[in-house]
Amino acid sequence: MLQVGQKAPDFKADAALGNNEFKSLSLADYKGKWLVLFFYPLDFTFVCPTEINAFSDATESFKKLGAELLGVSVDSKFSHNAWMNLARKEGGIQGLKFPLLADLNKTIATDYGVLLPAGIALRGLFIIDPEGGLQYQTVNFLNFGRSTEETLRVLQAIQTAKTTGEVCPANWKPGDKTMKPDPVKSKEYFANAK
């Protein structure tokens, strides 16, 4: 079973880039960068375009943190491409700012533990560090979407903890105090707690 702290499973598959362009992508293509890898059930559905468009709209915020976005479903690269050519007002994802990976053989969804017996992926989201380590994972059922704001907050918390050596308490946001992971030194944080 895949767990945080492990190396993220490798993958290699074709992706739709938009503008009728395709490219083979692998985890190695993201070495040295943060990667937000997220699975969604199917193209041309209902909740999926709301999530994908929300992530697309937040692309620059992720890039400022050194992170790339990559969506994955069991659809073909041609299905992804057709959906990328459909206007948002029609349920499409036209203008998408990141690639969509085609997991036709379902090995990526299987390796990441999100494939349902029906052959589609749950809404799994994984944050992978620049060294390929899995830092965060969350999996939602099909009928509700994820929050880009929460994903950005979590990414910033992970980056803050990695760079400072300190830990981020509950509901931490950028600019909030962190805590020293030490029984004595942590009291500095608790002394100011509400």
User: DSSP string covering 69-114, please?
Assistant: EEEEESS-HHHHHHHHTS-GGGT--TT--S-EEE-TT-HHHHHTT-
Please say if 48 is a catalytic residue: yes
CA 191/CA 169 separation, integer angstroms: 14
The single residue of 16, 36, 37, 48 carrying the catalytic annotation is 48
Closest CA to 174 of 187, 163, 185: 163
Per-residue burial over 88-117, b = 16 or more CB atoms within 10 Å of its CB, e = otherwise: eeeebbbebbbbbbbbeeeebbeebbbbee
List, in order, residues 6 or more apart from 153 with CB less than 8 Å away: 172, 173, 174
- Residues noted as catalytic: 48
